[in-house]
Amino acid sequence: MSLRKRFFSNPFVLTIIAIVLGFCVAGLILLAAGYPPVESIRTLVQSMIGRPKDISSVIIRSTPIIFTGLGVAFAIKTGLFNIGAEGQYVMGCVVATMVGSMLDFPKPVAILMVVISAMLISALYAGFVGLLKAQLGIHEVISGIMLNWISLYFSNWICGLDFFHKPGTIGMYPVNPCTYTMILPAWKRTEAGEAFMEQYPVLKETLGRTDVNAGFLVAVIAALIITHLLNRTRKGYELRAVGQNIHAARFAGINVNRSIVHAMMISGALCGLGAAFYVTGQSPHTVSTLSAFENVGFNGLSVAFIAFSSPIGCLFAGLLFGGLLYGGAGLQSKVGAPTEIINIVIGVIVFFCALSYLIPRFVDRRDAARLSKKRKKQMQKEMKKGGSNVN
Amino acid sequence: MAAEVSSKYAVQMHGITKRFGSFYALTDVNLDVERGTIHSILGENGAGKSTLMNVLYGLYQADEGDIYINGKKVNIKNPTAAIENGIGMVHQHFMLVENFTVTQNIVLGSEPTRGPIGLNMRKARQNVLDIVKKYGLDVEPDKLIRDISVGMQQRVEILKALYRGAEILILDEPTAVLTEQEIDELLGIMKNLVNDGKTIIIITHKLKEIQASSDTCTIIRRGKYIGTVPVKGVSEDDLATMMVGRAVQLVVDKPPASPGDVVLDIQNLYVKNEQGIDAVKDLNLQVRAGEIVGIAGIDGNGQQELMEAVNNLKKCKGRILLCGEEIQNKNPKYGIDHGMATIPADRHKDGLVLGFSVYENTIMEKYRTEEFSPGGRINRKKMRSFAEELIKAYDVRPEDCGPKLAGGLSGGNQQKIIIGREIAQEPKLLIAIQPTRGLDVGAIENVHKMLIRERDKGVAVLLISFELDEVMNVSDRIAVIYDGHIQQIFPHGTVDNRTLGRVMAGGSLEEAELEQIRKAGDANTAAGAEAEPETSAGPAAEEPAEAEAEEPVASAAEEPTEPEPETSTVPAADGGVELQNTEQMKETLAQMQKSLAELQKQIENMQKALAGMQ
């Protein structure tokens, strides 16, 4: 393998290429629509990372997507396509809100209970998909999509129940403050807190004006844990073996069916974790009646793709994704370009990520072409030199 | 060798050569098929039969050679061109739309139309019925494909070809998926077609069917044309000789076996194949510690299903005992935990995870032991040192392949990893399925040595292979599998390729030959110092019925005899192996070494010449 090919086979390099190409295409479309492309993209980037508040908001916005991205990436590593992440996330949100709104315990206990219940329901919901695949051979994409819709209507049903429905709103009672996972939520509202933050403008911008929460830290830890789980443990070895070659795994005595169920459950649990931190970490701390999906799970699919299913990569891909979603609003207000352009950018990036496996081949072919050209020239030279020698 | 180009031949293929990369699938092959005859093409697996027919049908392009249809030179560049020339092909694996009706499948692609866009299915149905009537093909035109039997699906395929006006019909292994009764029906249909002036070419390696169906037979061996013979007046024996040939035998230097206790005991095993037909039928087999039992047979006679049942990949009926404990219908892990290790036939599918590093691939079974993953956490240091040892011991190349992906290694080196890994399991029973497939001569020898070394360590080895030479050379006992059961068992050295080939193709042995084999077996018994008492059961096998009656006495060493009259039992192998042959073998070995040295010299010379060219 040539050095060049190895460079272009690196997933990180490929992702960067895809992102650059994504912005290029977006620029062309902006140009075609009559907006200044360079100016627009600069505005987009600026509204993503221009001020500390923006950075903080981007992180908050990204956190749930990172979690679902991790879930999907984990499933891909184990040979499963968890398109049901959306449904698992919705289920997690509903149950987290249900549990959180009823609890009144000391903070750590309350948070733990919400987190565990959300993870559990999402894991079971995903595990059911795995069970259907393992036992009946039903493809996880089919059952996943079906269950997505079931989760949406389940969520709406719960929202409408008298016990959970908050009168005067379209949502449920929000979770109790004892489950909040923001950083110092109560203190920053006190006079002492405000006075303290007054001294540090950056703190005031971020902590004071946004729902800075522990979710992102947990996401980083989760990414590290599942990286470890996949690469360093017995379970991870099994799951990866099943994902890469189910026949060889079965032949080696790995319980393939159990692996599929477990992989789905872990993937679902990650989505549920994201849901728990969304509900407890960001206002409005509740779930509303939905007419359509919020796409947190589906965006997780894109994140996993852009990250080439690397858990650590999902952190960055999720931030990019969340940033684009957040920055898109700025693009509209400042340049007047429609936010749909953001969807195009994201789509193009995913598209080029999916195509990027062609890049090493392309490089390879160019290398080969160059080599054969060289060889031909050499041959011709030798032919000229000693014509009759060559036979 | 090739006949003159003439219009009395429906098909003539002259000097066909087909290369895949540097591999010659066909070298200068000739085929002359007279019109209105059934012509069979005979050859072992991978001999190039199907390749030749794919060239005729336009699926491959020949690198050299000409094709003549009815005496006219044609250029068949794709299947459409083949159909235009009146050639139809029925593939071994049917190409039918499962939830279309028979009629819809037959007319698919050349439907009778009504108006510019309308379909005239009534006419289509009538057309189909006409052909059905004409050739006595029994199909129901309105049934869905998924609801009809395999035999009927095949008839639909034949109808498809006839509907498109095929005059020349190629059938690729038509009987492989059929039951006995369906085979008879097929033979009848073929006769009808030929009487109507059609020409049929069948690809097969079953000698019996050639005798029953064909007029002429062309034999191909390892991509080379061997000859064309009229089937009448040629015995199964001669055909077998031509098919198997007297290829250079890689004689493995191995001391006589000293079998111990029974390790694997398969009793009355029945296993179904994908189609739900019993592929293994009432199979009985024993493998003892310290012996290699080779299963010889043509692909598709139940080897795959036997392996799957023993490895617990498939449910079965009957009993499989490993050291006296039933292991059937459990899970693969159960067998592995009880001392079984398997070298699978398909190393890419079943053997390796190609996307894993070589390190990770070496612990496919061991990863779950406390040694390799204490407390559930993989001990990477241990894994690496174990893998490095294995790489060194089995000479896996390149030496630094450990952290690289297993998919990047050559086939031979991949096989070494699997073999090393399975042997490292320290199994009681080692099953090797096609362990040398796709390997070069040197690697093959290595694999054989490893198997014999395991045997000498007291491991029971079950070898399943389609390579006759391999089974002949390595096995201490050769069990011939045919149609899902063990047709016959021969001790090492009591049978030649020809006889074996015939039994593999379902042929039976005559009494005189059996006598000879028994004698050879007895001689071995006499020569063997550590003859076992059970061998006295030898003479009892003279008449199957008697052998069955005496089974309790003869039990351990004897295979339970089949009730069919054509089957008979030959004494099981024991400690003795032909001492009188050892001298001879040494001589041959010396000769072979000489010729090998010569060959190497030649290669060196050629390499020099090549270097000069560059």
Tens-place pLDDT, residues B143-202: 888 888 778 888 899 999 888 888 999 998 887 667 667 788 888 889 989 998 999 999
DSSP strand pairing (B429-433 vs B340-343): parallel
A363-372, A380-389, B316-325, B391-400: segment of lowest average pLDDT = A380-389
With CB atoms and an 8 Å threshold, state whether B351 touches A234: no
Nearest residue in chain B measured CA to CA from A1: B408
Gap between the Cα atoms of B105 and B157, Å rounded: 9
- Looking at the complex, does the CB of residue B116 fall below 8 Å from at least one CB of chain A? no
For residue B448, being part of any structural domain is answered with no
- Looking at the complex, does the CB of residue B373 fall below 8 Å from at least one CB of chain A? yes
- Looking at the complex, does the CB of residue B311 fall below 8 Å from at least one CB of chain A? yes
- Looking at the complex, does the CB of residue B24 fall below 8 Å from at least one CB of chain A? no
For residue A17, being part of any structural domain is answered with no
> Average pLDDT in the B500-514 region?
76
The DSSP annotation for A132-165 comes to HHHHH---HHHHHHHHHHHHHHHHHHHHHSTTTB
**Chain B neighbors of A245, CB-CB under 8 A:** 349, 352-355
Please report, for the domain that includes residue A231, its CATH number.
1.10.3470
Residue type, B309: A
For residue B485, being part of any structural domain is answered with no
> Average pLDDT in the B247-258 region?
65
> Average pLDDT in the B210-228 region?
87
With CB atoms and an 8 Å threshold, state whether A253 touches B354: no
| Reported confidence tier of residue B566, pLDDT bands at 50, 70, 90 | very low
What does pLDDT average to over chain B? 81
For residue B16, being part of any structural domain is answered with yes
> Average pLDDT in the B576-605 region?
72
Q: Quick count: other Cβ atoms within 10 Å of Cβ B167? A: 21
B70-74, B342-346, B435-439: segment of lowest average pLDDT = B435-439
Nearest residue in chain A measured CA to CA from B312: A251
pLDDT digits (tens, 9 = 90+) for B27-50: 899 999 999 999 999 876 567 888
Q: Of A232, A247, A250, which has the smallest distance from its Cβ to B377's Cβ?
A: A232
The H-assigned helical ranges of chain A are: 3-9, 11-32, 37-49, 52-77, 85-102, 107-136, 140-160, 191-199, 201-203, 215-232, 234-244, 246-251, 256-281, 296-306, 311-334, 340-355, 358-385
| Reported confidence tier of residue B395, pLDDT bands at 50, 70, 90 | confident
Residue B427 above 90 pLDDT? yes
For residue A94, being part of any structural domain is answered with yes
For residue B592, being part of any structural domain is answered with yes
- Looking at the complex, does the CB of residue B80 fall below 8 Å from at least one CB of chain A? no
B63-67, B116-120, B318-322, B408-412: segment of lowest average pLDDT = B408-412
Domain encompassing residue B195: 9-244
Question: What is the distance in angstroms between the Cα of B405 and the nearest Cα belonging to chain A?
Answer: 12
The whole-number pLDDT of residue B564 equals 42
The whole-number pLDDT of residue B553 equals 39
Domain end (from B373, B396, B426): B426
| Reported confidence tier of residue B497, pLDDT bands at 50, 70, 90 | confident
For residue B39, being part of any structural domain is answered with yes
| Reported confidence tier of residue B63, pLDDT bands at 50, 70, 90 | confident
Gap between the Cα atoms of A245 and B355, Å rounded: 8
The whole-number pLDDT of residue B551 equals 39
Identify whether B491 is preceded by a cis peptide bond (ω within 30 of 0).
no
Asked whether residue B233 falls in the same domain as residue B355, the answer is no
The whole-number pLDDT of residue A269 equals 97
| Number of domains into which chain B is organized | 3
Gap between the Cα atoms of B448 and B419, Å rounded: 11
Gap between the Cα atoms of B391 and B402, Å rounded: 8
- Looking at the complex, does the CB of residue A190 fall below 8 Å from at least one CB of chain B? no
> Average pLDDT in the B356-364 region?
94
With CB atoms and an 8 Å threshold, state whether A252 touches B349: no
| Number of domains into which chain A is organized | 1
Sole residue written with tokens 């031949």: B9
Q: Indicate the DSSP class of residue B7.
A: T
With CB atoms and an 8 Å threshold, state whether A237 touches B355: no
- Looking at the complex, does the CB of residue A253 fall below 8 Å from at least one CB of chain B? yes
- Looking at the complex, does the CB of residue B82 fall below 8 Å from at least one CB of chain A? no
- Looking at the complex, does the CB of residue A241 fall below 8 Å from at least one CB of chain B? yes
- Looking at the complex, does the CB of residue B405 fall below 8 Å from at least one CB of chain A? no
Domain encompassing residue A159: 64-317
Asked whether residue B39 falls in the same domain as residue B153, the answer is yes
For residue A233, being part of any structural domain is answered with yes
- Looking at the complex, does the CB of residue A289 fall below 8 Å from at least one CB of chain B? no
Residue B226 above 60 pLDDT? yes
Gap between the Cα atoms of B569 and B547, Å rounded: 8
Gap between the Cα atoms of A349 and A344, Å rounded: 8
Asked whether residue B96 falls in the same domain as residue B208, the answer is yes
Residue B449 above 90 pLDDT? no
| ipTM (interface pTM) | 0.81
Nearest residue in chain B measured CA to CA from A257: B331
- Position with higher pLDDT, B284 vs A380: B284
Residue B535 above 70 pLDDT? no
With CB atoms and an 8 Å threshold, state whether B350 touches A390: no
**Chain A neighbors of B363, CB-CB under 8 A:** 237
For residue A241, being part of any structural domain is answered with yes
The whole-number pLDDT of residue B524 equals 60
- Position with higher pLDDT, B203 vs A87: A87
The DSSP annotation for B323-347 comes to TTEE-TTS-HHHHHHTTEEEE-S-I
Residues 6+ apart with CB under 8 A from B329: B312, B315, B316
The whole-number pLDDT of residue B7 equals 85
The whole-number pLDDT of residue B563 equals 43
For residue A56, being part of any structural domain is answered with no
The whole-number pLDDT of residue B475 equals 92
Domain end (from B426, B460, B486): B426
Q: Of A248, A251, A391, which has the smallest distance from its Cβ to B613's Cβ?
A: A391
| Reported confidence tier of residue B533, pLDDT bands at 50, 70, 90 | very low
The whole-number pLDDT of residue B180 equals 64
The whole-number pLDDT of residue B521 equals 66
- Looking at the complex, does the CB of residue A237 fall below 8 Å from at least one CB of chain B? yes
Buried b (16+ CB within 10 A) or exposed e, A64-102: bbbbbbbbbbbbbbbbbebbbbbbbbbbbbbbbbbbbbe
CB pairs under 8 A between A and B: 75
| Reported confidence tier of residue B439, pLDDT bands at 50, 70, 90 | low
| Reported confidence tier of residue B441, pLDDT bands at 50, 70, 90 | low
**Chain A neighbors of B364, CB-CB under 8 A:** 241, 248, 252
- Looking at the complex, does the CB of residue A372 fall below 8 Å from at least one CB of chain B? no
The whole-number pLDDT of residue A210 equals 85
Low-confidence stretches of chain A (pLDDT < 70) are: 1-2, 364, 368, 371-372, 375, 385-391
Nearest residue in chain B measured CA to CA from A231: B378
Buried b (16+ CB within 10 A) or exposed e, A119-145: bbbbbbbbbbbbbbbbeeeeebeebbe
Helix (H) or strand (E) holding B56: helix B49-56
For residue A186, being part of any structural domain is answered with yes
> Average pLDDT in the B473-487 region?
91
Residues 6+ apart with CB under 8 A from A231: none
Domain end (from B426, B443, B465): B426
**Chain A neighbors of B613, CB-CB under 8 A:** 389-391
C-beta separation of B5 from B12 below 8 A: yes
DSSP strand pairing (B429-433 vs B317-322): unpaired
The whole-number pLDDT of residue B455 equals 93
Nearest residue in chain A measured CA to CA from B374: A234
A315-329, A342-356, B90-104, B235-249: segment of lowest average pLDDT = B235-249
Residue B248 above 50 pLDDT? no
| Reported confidence tier of residue B560, pLDDT bands at 50, 70, 90 | very low
Gap between the Cα atoms of B308 and A181, Å rounded: 54
With CB atoms and an 8 Å threshold, state whether A251 touches B356: no
Residues B168, B169, B174: CA angle, nearest 5 degrees: 160
For residue A214, being part of any structural domain is answered with yes
The whole-number pLDDT of residue B291 equals 94
